[in-house]
Chain A
Amino acid sequence: MDQDTEVLRTRDFWGALALMAISAFFLWRTFDIPLWGENRAGVSSANWYNSAAIVPLGIFSALAALSLVLLGISIRAGGAQRALSSVGIGWSAKEALRFSTIGIILFFYVAGLVPRVDFVLCSGLLITALTFGFHKGQGRRMILAALSVAVAGGYALAAHLPQSEWAAHDDDWLTLLVWIGLTVWMLCRARGDRVLKAVPTIAVIVPALLVCAMAFGFRQNVPNRGGLLFKQIEYHYYVTIRPLWRG
């Protein structure tokens, strides 16, 4: 068995255990759905085949059974013996740093920034952070990029958690400051790197174009309509620009 397969079987060991736990949890939850003749959605029936639980029961039972088979395969291939060894799992500190920094950036972007901060600002910060952080594969840049998004996103989350506060603008200003700071830092280190030099232009143009196309072209809802920049764009679109061709 080659090393890749050994690593895979060790991961399968943990994967199978996780799947068994998930199957057990959802099987337990499935028994909350009436199965034998209770009142269902206001209709009383005594037949098991009427139940909304019957298909989920089959699915989670099959999942539990297949997880057991997978566990058996991984144990036979030595997955259990290597389960606690970092080499056995295929742990790589560099890869873990890469994944966790991307995870942090995506989490704070989606959960913290998109609902609360102007879309152009937060997407500009995301594009700058991801490109600068991961362009050359340097750990320090990854951490700095993740920290930038985490600071802006974390503040937005902490300061304006409930939906009623999403229209506030202090988090927009902070995001703008962080974005400018990261861009300046990046340009200082660009030193003839054409990719990094192009980032500020891409980071401004792409989100602005997308949000305008979605809002005014497709007439769809866009995140945070009251955002610092979008509010101005929307105002000038309807008040200044649109009358030019409507008039």
Chain B
Amino acid sequence: MDFVLLQLSGFAGAFIALVLDPLTYAYLIISVFLGITFGALPGLTATLAVTILTGFFGNKIPLDYSLIALLGAYVGAIYGGSYPSILLNIPGTAASAATAMDGHPLAKAGRGGEALGLTTTASFIGTLIGTFALLIFVWLLLLLSKNIASPEKALLALFGILLSGTLMSEDLVIKGWIAGLIGLAMAMVGLDPLLSEPRYTFGWSYMLSGFQVVPVLMGAFAVPQIIDGMRHMEMGQMVQLKGRILPNLSSIRRYMPTITRSGVIGTGVGSLPGVGEDVAGWVSYGVGKTVSKDGENFGKGSIEGLLSSETANNACIGGALIPLLVLGIPGSPPAAALMGAFKINNIIPGPTIDPEIILRVVAIMVLASFTMFVMGLFTARVFIKILRIPQVVFLPVVMVLTTIGSFSVGGGINDLYLMLGVGFVAYFMNLMKYPIAPLVIGVILGGLFDETFRRSLLISGGDLTVFASRPVAAILLMLNVTLVLSQIPVMKRALGRFRGKVI
């Protein structure tokens, strides 16, 4: 209990410092507004919002303000995806896909205002649940992570890439792993981290410093989105918003158990390395359908169904920041973009991170969620108007934003070539249903994996048992092996037979 109180008092200090700074509000209002706009426009995603703002704010303003801008956009974008889900039946972001299942039928039934109001409230509470978990668990894990050495770090990085590849694949799991391996391979370019041996530089001096994170992020997330979105689309009929948006207290109280359960599920899913808000939304929706008394109405306009996904995807943000801050492994694709911002600010997330930064992140999250709540309730009609802008108008603007953002991070024109190259590759990968998130996570974690894997071998004199001789390493190795084996068809069948016998 003392520990929790200590944490809360530390958080209060960081929170008050932020609240007293007038610039905080300027960055918060702009970034949350931009985030909601990005989330609300179908074709733009939360990852894209954080990526583009990383190019703009990543290393150009003090870190505190840069974090406010990026976290504000992250929180806003995940919430903003609910607008087109409810009013157009088109998810604004992948995270809001489950929201459309119940949100749109509710809007068609003339309960759009109520749905938006409850969604806003649930997203707010969900973000707070995730943030509270971040405040508490990050410290417990940081204490544990002091015992994590090179073998554990290497295995954790590998686990993050494998898990992300497994869970983010729409088609074959193997494609997720291939995407992760391509990302890892890209991270091998440049001088190696231990001996400064040049690798795959082809005599080009720009390649000596390896692929920069921001152009890779821009290329992987923005360029395919622009190429894919530049097509003629008839905007679906928008359902007219009826009813008041401001929810009443009694209905919030009635749905509190659903919101709390979904918040916990979202935080849990978010804390898994590399698994994003979309998975959190669907898992929570699935659980809700199973345990809720209203389960049979899920998909037909159930408020509980709507809240299950919307609370979880916002709670996932806090969860996704836990592995990012404790282990340096992003918990979701937007968190990977956030990691890019940390990297260009020379901050290494992980056991050695400055505790002050964690407290500030928590304080920013609380403020961002509050800003999102107020904006969602009182300026919803502005965002509904934004929904009418066709993709062919805003995507070219996004391309210009991406270009200048990527250029100004440091590498100049060469970064733009890299961005375009990665963008075309990512577009074809999308076309063949390869997930892009594992690739980006591979690029980000590749350096860490390479360095820690080889350092482990150096320390042990080439003895491979170093990856199994320490308790945490042994557990992580087992997790990696189990994850791979569980996807092999023979093992899958055997597991199915075993489950059949037991049950």
Contacts A55-B450, A70-B174, A218-B60 hold; do A134 and B393 have CB atoms under 8 A apart? no
Contacts A63-B181, A103-B424 hold; do A207 and B196 have CB atoms under 8 A apart? no
* Interface: A241 (CB within 8 A): no
Residues of A in contact, count (CB < 8 Å): 66
- Report chain A residues within 8 Å CB of B175: 70
Residues of B in contact, count (CB < 8 Å): 60
Contact A210 B401 (CB under 8 A): yes
* Interface: B416 (CB within 8 A): yes
Interface SS majority for chain B: helix
* Interface: B454 (CB within 8 A): yes
Interface SS majority for chain A: helix
- Report chain A residues within 8 Å CB of B420: 106-107, 110-111
Contacts A55-B449, A130-B230, A202-B393 hold; do A49 and B178 have CB atoms under 8 A apart? no
Checking A15, A56, A66, A199 against B432 with a beta-carbon cut-off of 8 angstroms, the contacting residue is A15
Checking A33, A109, A114, A135 against B199 with a beta-carbon cut-off of 8 angstroms, the contacting residue is A33
Contacts A70-B172, A102-B230 hold; do A33 and B197 have CB atoms under 8 A apart? yes
**A-contact 0/1 string along B294-308, CB 8 Å cutoff:** 000000000000000
Query: Once bound together, how far apart are the Cα atoms of A73 and B488, in whole Å?
Result: 12
Contact A131 B400 (CB under 8 A): no
Query: Once bound together, how far apart are the Cα atoms of A41 and B454, in whole Å?
Result: 16
- Report chain A residues within 8 Å CB of B450: 55
Contact A59 B188 (CB under 8 A): yes
**B-contact 0/1 string along A214-241, CB 8 Å cutoff:** 1000111111000000000000000000
Checking A47, A56, A107 against B462 with a beta-carbon cut-off of 8 angstroms, the contacting residue is A47
**B-contact 0/1 string along A31-72, CB 8 Å cutoff:** 001100000110100011110111110011011001101100
Query: Once bound together, how far apart are the Cα atoms of A110 and B402, in whole Å?
Result: 11
Least Cβ distance of B442 to chain A in Å?
9
**B-contact 0/1 string along A87-120, CB 8 Å cutoff:** 0000000000011001100110111001100010
* Interface: A191 (CB within 8 A): no
Residue of B nearest to A64 (CB): B181
Least Cβ distance of B480 to chain A in Å?
13
Query: Once bound together, how far apart are the Cα atoms of A106 and B426, in whole Å?
Result: 15
- Report chain B residues within 8 Å CB of A69: 174
**A-contact 0/1 string along B418-441, CB 8 Å cutoff:** 011001100100011100000000
Query: Once bound together, how far apart are the Cα atoms of A71 and B461, in whole Å?
Result: 38
- Report chain A residues within 8 Å CB of B419: 110
* Interface: B413 (CB within 8 A): yes
Residue of A nearest to B189 (CB): A56
Contact B400 A222 (CB under 8 A): no
* Interface: B29 (CB within 8 A): no
Contact B404 A214 (CB under 8 A): yes
Least Cβ distance of A210 to chain B in Å?
5
Contacts A126-B396, A210-B404 hold; do A110 and B172 have CB atoms under 8 A apart? no
Residue of B nearest to A113 (CB): B403
**A-contact 0/1 string along B56-80, CB 8 Å cutoff:** 1000110000000000000000000
Contact A220 B60 (CB under 8 A): yes
Least Cβ distance of A127 to chain B in Å?
4
Checking B197, B392, B423 against A40 with a beta-carbon cut-off of 8 angstroms, the contacting residue is B197
- Report chain B residues within 8 Å CB of A103: 227, 424
Least Cβ distance of A23 to chain B in Å?
9
Contact B397 A49 (CB under 8 A): no
Contact B390 A63 (CB under 8 A): no
Query: Once bound together, how far apart are the Cα atoms of A60 and B172, in whole Å?
Result: 20
Task: Report B's interface with A, CB cutoff 8 A.
Answer: 56, 60-61, 171-172, 174-175, 177-178, 181-182, 184-185, 188, 192, 194-197, 199-200, 223, 226-227, 230-232, 390, 392-393, 395-397, 399-401, 403-404, 407-408, 412-413, 416-417, 419-420, 423-424, 427, 431-433, 449-450, 453-454, 457-458, 461-462
Q: A59-B184, A59-B188, A73-B174 are in contact. List 5 more A-B contacts (CB 8 A).
A: A49-B458, A49-B461, A114-B407, A134-B232, A211-B404
